[in-house]
Structure 1
Amino acid sequence: MKFKLPFKKKQQQQPYKEMNAVKEKVELIAPSENDFTQLIKDTTNNPADLVIKSIPPNLTLIYINNLVNDQTLNEHIITNLQNNFFETPEAIWPILSIPEVNISSQLEETIASLLNGSVLIYVNGYSQVVLAPIPKRESRSLSTPENESQVIGAQVGFNESLSTNISLIRRYIISPNLCNEELKVGKRTHTSLSLLYMNGIASDQMVNTLRQRIQDVDVDSLLDSAVLLEMIDDNTLSPFPQMLLTERPDRFCDGLLNGKLGIIVEGSSLAIVCPIAFVEFFESREDQNLRWQVATFARLLRFTAIFLSVFLTPIYVGALTFHYEVIPQALLVPLSESRALVPFPPVFEALLLELIIELLREAGARLPTKIGQTIGIVGGIVIGTAAVQAGITSNILLIFVALSALASFTTPSYTMGNVIRLIRFPIILIAGFWGFYGIMLAFCFILIHLLRQSSLGAPYLSPYYPPRLKDMRDSIIKFPLPFVAKRASLTRPADQEKFDPEPVKPEKS
């Protein structure tokens, strides 16, 4: 049974219907200058940065000072309109050297354009207004991705500007088949987002499903793509993410070219890619730039690290609590000596150390960069040494916990790495109560949970469940390039062939 949160369905429609009814009563623009300016002030709550400027003999300019480009306003609008008499709003249109100029008589459309950085040009005595969009977009410059770094490959990441992110994608994919649908989410924020996919590759059914899920989101505000991801997940109560958050344009475009769908939200530097399989969270974009032998080794190393991160400490706890017989005889004496002064049971000792590691990680992430690195290194050394000398913990467990924490950071996806660190705590508790039987019970529970999950309707454990042998060529083990010429069936692509698997052989001279 899949659980859905109540905000995914359209609730509380009556208050919004009443608001829309009020808007419809004042929808038309007033033909009087005083009435029109007063209506704009009332509708926008008369903000301090609202500018109303009269241009003789019969024009009025209205704009929000912090949203328009001042240079364009002075050079292309005010200069061209001064000392000219315009009989109708249509006469202004040819004078302005600005693209996308529009004329509107609807108040709602006019206010929306004003809040998006347009200048309202009002001709006295007419119930129409000219909308001249000259937005000023403040955004930081492009930088390298901080959470998905790589050595070989592109070194640029998304920023918070939707238009900049779209331009980055179009630099990678120069094709008329790249579809970009603009949608709005949030009754109060009216946040813009783009749904992107490749026409002729992406499944139409998946495109329609994702579009419908976005349109069904009924919230007041949307400030980040991570919030949207939680609202459109297949199972919002699962700790495992069913869609990928990435800050890399190359990984985003690679997903589009393989039949996946992408979402970019205005104001967010993270893009959403779906559908996604569980094993893909442990694959790096850099794997595509490496030889298949090196990429396979890196992937096997990551999956080994994930196993160690989740089960190494619980195995230690279970062995010392219930199963001494599995410990090699050569290790019994060192283990006994290291735990001779420890007054706590192994489960409490392990949880205490794991909690200290997580506190150090959280403190290092929240503090400024230079201070955070110092706290992480010095704090770990000082606290670990002091804990062993004080007899609070054993030095062998300290090594295991440090190794588990280090292994958890090998996951390329930050969201999946957080889940790996989270599920380690309940498994340690279960191992302290039931030993290895509890560990196997927890493993079976996690496996059954993953088998029941899906990503945009696609199986979450693909290509291993249901088994698809051809798709396994580029999962945990990466096959040579000629063996992965077809797109994975996870996305149900309309075009399965990526390239001709037969290599071009040079002619012998």
Structure 2
Amino acid sequence: MWRKKLKGKTQENTPFPHDTHLLEIWIKHQFHQSSDIVVNYFSFGEMNVLVSYIDQSIDTKLLSEFILQPLLQQKDEGISFEKATEKVEITSPKWTNNGSDIISGLLSGAVLLYCEGSEHAVLYNIVLVEGRNPEKAETESLVFGPKVAFTESLSKNLNLIRTHLNDPQLTVEEIIVGERAKKPVSILYIKDITNEELVQTFRQRITDLHYDHIMDSTVLAQLLEDNSQTIFPQILTTELPDRLSLSLLHGKVGVLVDGSPTAIIGPSTFLSFFESTEDVYMRWNMGTFLRMLRFLAIFLSVLLTPAYVAVLTYHYEVIPSALLISLGQSRANVPFPPFFEALLLEFIIELLREAGARLPTKVGQTIGIVGGIVIGQASVQAGITSNILIIIIALSALGSFTTPSYLMGTAIRITRFPIIILAALWGGVGIMLAFCFIIIHLLRLTTIGVPYLSPIYPLRLSDLRYSLFRVPQQYLKMRPASNRPLNEERYTKRDPKQKRDIDQ
């Protein structure tokens, strides 16, 4: 009977039936007779009360001790169900007369209680939280600084941020995303620092999403990007709470997704993907050296193999004569042209990298090391490739691995392949053409409305000390202007080395 009433109506505008038997039928119909939907009854005085929840989703101990027992222990015959629930020690109960609220509550781990004849039902959120405790970061390993990483629990991740950044101005906004599988997403920012326009951009883009299920923060990051066609990531993801806290203090916005062990940071410029929190924990000159080393390594990673192909194909005259003899002897038994030789080894390196990443940790490390040595040595002895190209390919691979961001490192490795093809077609001109195309492409990109190459373009010299270099902390008085912070000063300048009297 009730199923016929449901026809032609949506769940949002259809109230639930005010009869426990019909309510049981309605709930099971909404969940298509799923076997994990539990519906039970108990008597409260002269009233019949329905209890419903999703099995394995709630804490049954809390249900028994703090909900059912306090209700059953009340002996007053004339007491109403609403009055009796005041004895329940579960905080923040939700009273509702909307069927959609009941379904959403059951899906999110709440238990439903409904008394026969009552106008409202009550939902108690006693979700069973299953998850691991905070552990050491896996993909962003550090020598200095906190080693703890985010977990899959949104509440634990918010607690980690509050622990790192105990500022009352830290604001958390929760938005429910997902058309089918609804998932809470939290936007984090510091109220008196972060530009409201930047917060509104994140808020609007997340609210306007019409997507079945946001599986992870990396999926959400792709949906929030300005340009989904480019290979370069425009939003940074991190598993380190201290990195997110530092970014919030610089005027950026963070996003946490329930069920994801990584956080989103935006806006994230091109140079942001080469920064590491370890640069801040180390002395400024060491941090600057390591950052410069990463930039040089990425440049060589992109340039070395295409330069080898271009020089051996078109530009023999640039090779010193002493090296030319050694190079000729090394390639004397190689039957392939430099282009095919380079592509073959690059492909083998990518195979080794992917195999090492997919296998268990200890086995993967063994495959990467042993496989690289065996294949490299066997390739030279078989005359498939030259010794010099083995060295060049190894340096290129090492250079791409120095990037703190896995996504950016992968993008750099993929970019190398079309540059090799252009180098084989037009030599040095092809390499220059590829670099010009990449630079123009990067200049046109934006990240949450901010130029992707900022602070290089548009040039902001004051922001270079946060991105390109690492300067002493006493010279970092102002926050990065690229983020347009409301409060530009980080601290009031005062010389700590100045000697003062004991009574000052």
TM-score, normalization: structure 1? 0.94
1:23 and 2:11 aligned = yes
Give me the whole-angstrom Cα distance separating, in 2, the residues matched to 1:125 and 1:482: 69
From 415, 425, 428, the counterpart of 2:417: 425
Alignment of 1:14-413 (within 5 A): 21-25=9-13, 27-57=14-44, 58-82=48-72, 84=74, 87-413=79-405
Shift of 1:490: 1.2
Give the conservation status (yes or no) of the 8 Å contact 1:258–1:488.
Answer: yes
Seen in structure 2, the aligned counterparts of structure 1 residues 97 and 245 have a Cα distance that, compared at 3 Å, is: same
SS of 1:193 mapped into structure 2: strand
SS of 1:474 mapped into structure 2: helix
Give me the whole-angstrom Cα distance separating, in 2, the residues matched to 1:20 and 1:501: 68
Alignment of 1:427-466 (within 5 A): 427-466=419-458
Q: Deviations over 1:369-426 (max 9, x none)?
A: 1111111111111111110000000011001001100111000011101101110011
Aligned to 2:3: none
Give me the whole-angstrom Cα distance separating, in 2, the residues matched to 1:109 and 1:89: 20
Give the conservation status (yes or no) of the 8 Å contact 1:93–1:101.
Answer: no
The AA in structure 2 aligned to 1:407 is: G
1:507 and 2:497 aligned = no
The AA in structure 2 aligned to 1:47 is: S
Give the alignment's Cα RMSD to 1 decimal: 1.6
Seen in structure 2, the aligned counterparts of structure 1 residues 482 and 308 have a Cα distance that, compared at 3 Å, is: same
Shift of 1:148: 0.6
Give me the whole-angstrom Cα distance separating, in 2, the residues matched to 1:20 and 1:270: 42
SS of 2:172 mapped into structure 1: strand
The AA in structure 2 aligned to 1:79 is: Q
SS of 1:159 mapped into structure 2: coil
Shift of 1:243: 0.8
Give the conservation status (yes or no) of the 8 Å contact 2:335–2:384.
Answer: yes
Give me the whole-angstrom Cα distance separating, in 2, the residues matched to 1:50 and 1:245: 37
Q: Deviations over 1:474-506 (max 9, x none)?
A: 222211112211111111000000112332223
Shift of 1:29: 2.4
Give the conservation status (yes or no) of the 8 Å contact 1:86–1:92.
Answer: no
- The percentage of aligned residue pairs carrying the same residue is 48
Shift of 1:112: 0.8
Give me the whole-angstrom Cα distance separating, in 2, the residues matched to 1:230 and 1:97: 42
Shift of 1:441: 0.7
Give the conservation status (yes or no) of the 8 Å contact 2:12–2:99.
Answer: no
Mean Cα displacement is larger for which, 224-233 or 124-133? 124-133
Give me the whole-angstrom Cα distance separating, in 2, the residues matched to 1:475 and 1:502: 24
The AA in structure 2 aligned to 1:44 is: F
Give me the whole-angstrom Cα distance separating, in 2, the residues matched to 1:102 and 1:427: 60
Q: Deviations over 1:282-304 (max 9, x none)?
A: 01111111111100100011011
Give the conservation status (yes or no) of the 8 Å contact 2:20–2:49.
Answer: no
Give the conservation status (yes or no) of the 8 Å contact 1:89–1:129.
Answer: no
SS of 1:137 mapped into structure 2: coil
TM-score, normalization: structure 2? 0.95
Give me the whole-angstrom Cα distance separating, in 1, the residues matched to 2:33 and 2:84: 27
Give the conservation status (yes or no) of the 8 Å contact 2:59–2:128.
Answer: yes
Give the conservation status (yes or no) of the 8 Å contact 2:455–2:482.
Answer: yes
Give me the whole-angstrom Cα distance separating, in 2, the residues matched to 1:446 and 1:486: 32
Shift of 1:24: 4.1
Q: Deviations over 1:295-331 (max 9, x none)?
A: 0100011011001111011111111111111111110
Give me the whole-angstrom Cα distance separating, in 1, the residues matched to 2:176 and 2:258: 10
Seen in structure 2, the aligned counterparts of structure 1 residues 106 and 485 have a Cα distance that, compared at 3 Å, is: same
The AA in structure 2 aligned to 1:31 is: H
Q: Deviations over 1:325-384 (max 9, x none)?
A: 111111011100000000111011000000000000000101111111111111111111
Shift of 1:86: 7.0
* Deviation >6 Å, runs of 4+: none
User: What are the ranges of 5 or more consecutive residues in structure 1 without an aligned counterpart?
Assistant: 1-17
Shift of 1:93: 2.7
The AA in structure 1 aligned to 2:51 is: L
Q: Deviations over 1:146-203 (max 9, x none)?
A: 1111000000001111111111101111122111111111110111110111101111
Shift of 1:19: 10
User: What are the ranges of 5 or more consecutive residues in structure 2 without an aligned counterpart?
Assistant: 1-5
Give me the whole-angstrom Cα distance separating, in 2, the residues matched to 1:296 and 1:262: 26
Give the aligned length. 491
